[in-house]
């Protein structure tokens, strides 16, 4: 019987900052039973976190896929897949995970699926997806070149000094199904080579997309999450250089990664990938983590890729929520034991289709193309290609 992976906690110096921080990563045991070890593991983790939490530091700009640990102690065991609700078990296989999109070649008709909230393929030649104040429509150029599928796609541009807005899709009440609901955004991006800075070394960051609960309009890096006000699970894209890695874009590396603002980031566990807990901008209690694939999946400029994020809502007051991130249907990061909320009515309110760049002082205009957006309450997966049957002529 195969064993489930469990999480370990390492303490050492993260290459990007040179500072000590808590670093969580996945370990696959070689033995067949962990049941007798659980109490011991829980005690060890509690002692470790009590000692190390005051030294948590930032991991906002990783520069390498290496880590030299000073200490390793097993931590809390991840929830076995067999114990999860059926819809939580989707997307966990190794390799490419297909989801509900497998039944809709070219995404044609996918909006008819009962789990789909909305979709946008730009094939009307305009944006039909309704967002707050129509921000997505008003800041998207629909173009007929470079589509991933069909005849049209969306294009977004960032000129020097321009950051761009956050666009919000209000989540309808019908999305909040059952005691353990889930929320997903899947879309395709293509990043232009203009995201490489002229010096090939400066950091570049641009927000991607995600699921947010913000009923009181408090979502901000300067507003600590406490289980009763706001939380999120989102994806952003960052780059750095110079690099001699073969995956680099003319010496510049580009990655996408998962992050979450929530009230208890230090107790989240890396079932797949690695976690860095960010020091708080306000107060002395952390309320954000970043999760990275291990090793990094480096992205190419000029290629279309499928990205998907999932927020798995916790039972109020319990550490049983999750966040997951896929690229081209391959699971990159899975974070478990997340405690998003402590009160029942703190449900996700919006899905963000972010057009916000966090670095703006570059002379060139940066361009990103978007296609085949789907918003749903089940894992979506990559689009199934349309196949054309050619009938022989007689």
The residue-averaged pLDDT of 314-319 equals 97
The residue-averaged pLDDT of 266-289 equals 97
55 torsion bin: left (phi>0), alpha (psi -120 to 50), beta (else):
alpha
* Token pair listed for 162: 């321009």
pLDDT at 71 over 50: no
CA distance 325 to 312: 12
Tell me what pLDDT residue 23 has.
45
* Token pair listed for 9: 């906690």
**What band does 46 get if pLDDT is binned at 50, 70 and 90?**
very low
**What band does 1 get if pLDDT is binned at 50, 70 and 90?**
very low
The residue-averaged pLDDT of 263-285 equals 97
Helix (H) or strand (E) holding 39: helix 38-52
Q: pLDDT tens for residues 321-332?
A: 999 999 999 999
What is the pTM assigned to this prediction?
Answer: 0.82
**What band does 372 get if pLDDT is binned at 50, 70 and 90?**
very high
pLDDT at 292 over 50: yes
The answer to which of 40-44, 210-214, 222-226 has the lowest mean pLDDT is 40-44
For the chain, give the mean pLDDT.
84
The residue-averaged pLDDT of 231-236 equals 98
CA distance 249 to 244: 10
Tell me what pLDDT residue 5 has.
42
Beta strands in 167-252 (DSSP E): 168-170, 182-191, 204-213, 231-240
Q: What is the CATH number of domain 97-104+112-376?
A: 2.60.120.200
**What band does 244 get if pLDDT is binned at 50, 70 and 90?**
very high
CA distance 167 to 131: 6
Tell me what pLDDT residue 181 has.
97
> Are the C-beta atoms of residues 139 and 127 closer than 8 Å to each other?
no
In residues, how long is the chain? 394
Tell me what pLDDT residue 276 has.
97
Quick check: helix, strand or coil at residue 179?
coil
């Amino acid at each position: 019987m195969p064993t489930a992976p469990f999480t370990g906690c390492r303490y050492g110096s993260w290459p990007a900052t040179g500072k000590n921080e808590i670093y969580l990563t996945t370990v696959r045991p070689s033995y067949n039973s962990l049941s007798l070890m659980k109490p011991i593991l829980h005690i060890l983790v509690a002692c470790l976190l009590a000692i190390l939490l005051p030294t948590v530091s930032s991991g906002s700009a990783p520069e390498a896929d290496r880590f030299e640990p000073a200490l390793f102690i097993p931590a809390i065991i991840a929830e076995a897949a067999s114990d999860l609700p059926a819809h939580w078990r989707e997307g966990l296989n190794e390799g490419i995970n297909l989801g509900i999109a497998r039944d809709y070649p070219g995404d044609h008709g996918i909006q008819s699926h009962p789990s789909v909230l909305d979709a946008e393929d730009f094939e009307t030649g305009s944006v039909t997806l309704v967002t707050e104040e129509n921000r997505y429509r008003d800041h998207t150029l629909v173009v007929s070149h470079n589509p991933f599928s069909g005849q049209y796609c969306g294009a977004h541009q960032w000129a020097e000094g321009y950051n761009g807005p956050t666009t919000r899709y209000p989540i309808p009440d019908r999305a909040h199904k059952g005691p353990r609901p889930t929320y997903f955004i899947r879309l395709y991006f293509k990043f232009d080579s203009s995201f490489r800075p002229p010096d090939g070394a400066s950091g570049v960051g641009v927000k991607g997309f995600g699921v947010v609960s913000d009923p009181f309009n408090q979502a901000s890096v300067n507003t600590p999450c406490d289980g009763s006000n706001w939380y999120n699970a989102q994806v952003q894209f960052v780059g750095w250089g110079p690099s001699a890695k073969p995956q680099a874009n003319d010496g510049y590396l580009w990655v996408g990664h998962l992050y979450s603002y929530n009230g208890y980031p230090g107790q989240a566990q890396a079932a797949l990938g690695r976690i860095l807990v960010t020091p708080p901008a306000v107060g002395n209690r952390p309320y954000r983590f970043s999760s990275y694939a291990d090793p990094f999946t480096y992205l190419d400029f000029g290629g279309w890729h499928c990205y998907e994020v999932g927020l798995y809502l916790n039972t109020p007051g319990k550490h049983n929520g999750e966040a997951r991130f896929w690229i081209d249907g391959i699971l990159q990061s899975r974070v478990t034991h997340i405690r998003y909320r402590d009160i029942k009515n703190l449900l996700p309110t919006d899905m963000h289709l972010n057009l916000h760049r966090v670095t703006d002082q570059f002379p060139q205009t940066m361009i990103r193309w978007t296609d085949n957006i789907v918003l749903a309450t089940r894992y979506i997966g990559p689009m199934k290609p349309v196949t054309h049957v050619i009938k022989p002529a007689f």
